[in-house]
Amino acid sequence: MNIFYNVLEKVIRSIWGLVRKAPVAIVLCAVLMAAVCAASSALWLKLDSDQDNLISHELPFQKRNLEQIKNFGDQEYMFVVIKTGGTDAGKDKAAKFAATLATKLKKRPDLVKEVHYAMSARDMGPGVLMFASSDELRQFVSLARDFGPLGKEWFEEPGLTRFLNMTADLLSGKKGTEQGGSAGPEMFGPFIGAVDNLVGEMQSSLVSGPTLETMNAPVFDLDKAGIQYFFTRNGKLLIMRILPKKDFRVMDVIGPSLNFVRSSLETVRTEFPEVEAGLTGRPVLSADEMHTTDQDMTIAAIISVVVVGLMFMFILHGWLRPMLVMGSLFCAMAWTFGFTLVALGSLNLLSIVFALVLVGIGVDFGIHIVMRYVEASDSGLSPDEAVEEALVHTGPGVLLGGLTSVCAFYAVLGQEFVGLAELGLVGGTGIIFCLISMLTVLPSMMLIAGRRNWFPSSRPRMATMPFMEKIISRPVTVLLVFAVLTALAFPGFQKAGFNYNLLDLQAEGLESVEYEHVLINDSDESTWFAVMTRPDLESVKSLIAELKQIPSVGRVDSILGFLPEGQQEKAEILRGEAEALAGINLEARNSSLVPSEVVSGLENLIESLEGLEEKLFSAGAKAELEKVGEIIDRADSCLEILEKNPADAVNLTPLQARLVSELSGSFAWLKEILEVKSVDPNDLPEHLRSLYVGKDGSFMVKISPVGNVWDFDKLTGFVADLRRIDPEVTGVPVVVLESSLLMRETFLEAAGLTIILVSAILFLSSFSISYVLLTLVPLFAGIFWLLEIMGITGLSFNLANFFAIPVLIAIGVDGGVHFLARWKELSQGERLYHTSTPVAVGLSFCTTMIGFGGLLLAHHRGLASLGGIMVTGSATCLVGCMVVLPAVFRLIERIKGK
């Protein structure tokens, strides 16, 4: 026996000496420390759910991404996707749906920071006229000249009555423009719409009186003039962008915001049952993924603990021995939480799975000790002797297997993928704590229970597996059968692959996933966009020209989309036109509201509308005629109320105040936009500037891909095309691509390093190459068969399940270590399957399968695939360990003539 193994034996004997002397003190200290760790963790252990912190901030691509976020702010939006059917009627309904939803969302600025679904003239800022064509601008100037004198006249004594009378005169042609005509035909729709709004507001005020909802509401809503909704290019969808409030101190970063948006969306759906709409976007997908995985992990952990406990109770025949193992495991888990609090202060989105790992792996150490204790007790040894036998004979193997498991996790330490590195630290340290607990706390509790005769007198239902001796009695046949089956399944090995598509990991049936596919299939919109920055507008123009030549590039958005062309020519058209509004007294006091005058104004309006009806009837304008008829009916209703009770006119006072206030603001705005001579980025409203102009003055260019960016080949090509133009391109596509490649590289390095470290430890424990190779037989056979089965069944590696490989390396080697150690202990004529080791190893693999098997029920397809790989890989390694390795042992025995 070599020095390394002697050291392991001395460690175990030292542990036994401590356990024998003070078992009660050990248990009390362990439980007390576990309680302190659990309580401290519950109070102070944080969750860092910021995905940007999963990757080292020093990596160039991540550094650029974080600098871009710092410079331009968070622009990771939720998307409400509203289907229009591509028809005008559908677009109108979608617009009303969006407006209603936006109104609800804006009531909670503490949860929703921004809502964008359309852009009005006001939203474009004072330079809005510069976006019109020269002909449109001339028409607008002519209209301003016409309405300037009318505005000046009305503001001499502004009020509701005068507005009614002037409107009546305009409709009848008694009062016209400076050219002597009435309002032109192109103004008929907006003008009649405004009259309809006013009369409708009057009727509502007279019937119900002023309400809190209408006190500050606009009468005409002139701010929405010229509104442009964010329809996709094909018109099939209306897109709302919502910027949620984020809190990275909790797992559900946008939880309150998301819940509010979803409840508001559901409410609006009931108001518009004919409109189809759903919520998606990267933060929504991430939140849904977090919620689904959290739920799935919780269910899987509960299932694994319960089923493992029940299995122990069945196999070990009783509840005490399983409870001691699980109690020791819970102590180790609590210590691990405490270590995490001290060492890291927080868990990340990957390291939170360590508990499930410990259930699957950590409990294995206890199984070997318990089964060897049962075997020793059955041979007539006292409780002290049985515990010593279990520790001394299985302890070195447990330590050796534990070290190999620790290697699998510690192999990722120091990696740039911080999330995995922290999982490796927490998981590996957790396994060390499991080793400590199973080698100290568990034997102490067993010693206490044994001395007090608490264990059941009945033997475990399965302490040995003698029937397996018949299976391996013909080792050559066994090995040939497996060789043939392996060869037949080899095409599956060649098909095993890696799926980078993150959308394929999400749970099926989620609204966010469904509507992400809607965006991909039915629009030019993308929830992902790459980012390039330029220092000035000229370089932005050059960049956009280059980008438009790339087939993989779809939409390109920049500040240039909000800077009009031909500004000099348009400035000439507007020169001096603001004078048309000169002399208007926007500060004039409202006229007093006299009931008889209001009645007179309504009568004039009705008379003019009836005259207009005759003209519309003669022209055959049925739709317009119907609209005018509705206005007359409302005006008649108002007239009837005031004639019956003139005092009700007081209810119109707030309406008059709103009318005067709104028109004052509109004429002031009109004068302001007529005075604008040019538009540059500094003239744009802040909400537009902040989207494209950074704090350092640089300009952002947003580049959306063509097609399905979730397809890894398309994503790779898109980023490669952009890097040919600008190697420092950043944004979500770049971060996803680089982090995916980094994760895969980290996994591969970890797997390779784990094999090297495990092989080195095995060699140090034996100084025998044959020992190393024999120990690795179950691992290599199991992994090879796993890849074959994956290829046959279509199960792929992905970013959610690839860490299964280092874990499978650990458990595969652990089984081989225990089988080989027990085989070397066998005396002449003694058979391996007549001992408790195969049962212990089998239970170890089963606990791993159960621990991860709960994930097979997961809705999240990534977690379900992790469960699939872990269960399949554990099963194949189990077969390699329980059948192939003993067959090799038997063949070696025959060759040696043993």
Tell me the pLDDT tens digit for each residue of 341-395: 999 988 876 777 677 677 667 777 888 888 888 888 878 889 899 999 989 888 8
- Residue 472: pLDDT band (50, 70, 90) is confident
Whether residue 461 is predicted with pLDDT greater than 60 in this model: the reply is no
Q: Which residue has the higher pLDDT, 733 or 898?
A: 733
pLDDT number for residue 249: 65
Q: Give per-residue burial for 261-299: e unless 16+ CB within 10 Å, then b.
A: beebbeebbeebeebbbbbbbbbbbbbbbbbbbeebbee
227-261 pLDDT, tens digit per residue, is 888 888 888 999 999 999 887 666 677 889 999 99
pLDDT number for residue 96: 92
Q: Give percent of the chain above pLDDT 70.
A: 93
Whether residue 80 is predicted with pLDDT greater than 50 in this model: the reply is yes
- How many CB atoms neighbour CB 324 within 10 A? 25
Residue 415 structure tokens: 């990696």
The Cα 108–Cα 260 span in angstroms is: 9
The Cα 582–Cα 686 span in angstroms is: 29
Q: Which residue has the higher pLDDT, 76 or 463?
A: 76
The Cα 36–Cα 42 span in angstroms is: 10
Q: Which of 631, 762, 588 is nearest to 154 (CA)?
A: 588
Whether residue 121 is predicted with pLDDT greater than 80 in this model: the reply is no
pLDDT number for residue 242: 92
pLDDT number for residue 214: 62
Whether residue 495 is predicted with pLDDT greater than 50 in this model: the reply is yes
The Cα 497–Cα 296 span in angstroms is: 25
- Residue type, position 92, single letter: D
pLDDT number for residue 179: 36
pLDDT number for residue 177: 46
Residue 793 structure tokens: 């069944």
The Cα 172–Cα 191 span in angstroms is: 13
Greatest alpha-carbon pair distance for the chain in Å reads: 124
What would the DSSP string read from start to end of 665-715?
Answer: HHHHHHHHHHH-----GGGS-HHHHHHHB-TTS-EEEEEEESS-TTSHHHH
**Mean pLDDT within 282-303:** 79
Whether residue 171 is predicted with pLDDT greater than 80 in this model: the reply is yes
Going by the DSSP 8-state scheme, the letter that residue 85 receives in this structure is T
The Cα 513–Cα 521 span in angstroms is: 12
Q: Which residue has the higher pLDDT, 143 or 13?
A: 13
pLDDT number for residue 176: 53
Calculate the average pLDDT of the chain. Answer: 85
Taking the model in full, what pTM does it have? 0.75
> 3-class SS at 242?
strand
pLDDT number for residue 183: 46
Whether residue 896 is predicted with pLDDT greater than 50 in this model: the reply is yes
pLDDT number for residue 897: 62
Q: Which residue has the higher pLDDT, 532 or 617?
A: 532
145, 577 contact by CB (below 8 A):
yes
The Cα 372–Cα 427 span in angstroms is: 26
pLDDT number for residue 360: 66
Range among 151-160, 192-201, 318-327, 725-734 with highest mean pLDDT value: 725-734
**Beta partners for residue 112, in sequence order:** 244
pLDDT number for residue 894: 81
Whether residue 156 is predicted with pLDDT greater than 90 in this model: the reply is no
**Mean pLDDT within 631-636:** 92
Range among 306-310, 421-425, 856-860 with highest mean pLDDT value: 421-425
Q: Which of 525, 534, 530, 523 is nearest to 560 (CA)?
A: 534
**Mean pLDDT within 544-572:** 88
pLDDT number for residue 805: 83
The Cα 146–Cα 22 span in angstroms is: 102
Whether residue 797 is predicted with pLDDT greater than 80 in this model: the reply is yes
Range among 462-476, 612-626, 627-641, 664-678 with highest mean pLDDT value: 627-641
Q: Which of 721, 584, 574, 617 is nearest to 147 (CA)?
A: 584
pLDDT number for residue 79: 92
Whether residue 180 is predicted with pLDDT greater than 70 in this model: the reply is no
Whether residue 845 is predicted with pLDDT greater than 60 in this model: the reply is yes
The Cα 191–Cα 182 span in angstroms is: 12
The Cα 68–Cα 695 span in angstroms is: 10
646-671 pLDDT, tens digit per residue, is 988 898 998 888 888 888 888 888 88
Q: What is the number of helices (H) and of strands (E) in the chain? A: 31, 14
- Residue 524: pLDDT band (50, 70, 90) is low
Range among 318-322, 566-570, 716-720, 858-862 with highest mean pLDDT value: 716-720
**Mean pLDDT within 146-169:** 86
860, 296 contact by CB (below 8 A):
yes
Q: Which of 43, 47, 515 is nearest to 253 (CA)?
A: 47
Whether residue 440 is predicted with pLDDT greater than 90 in this model: the reply is yes
Whether residue 480 is predicted with pLDDT greater than 80 in this model: the reply is yes
Q: Which residue has the higher pLDDT, 94 or 313?
A: 94
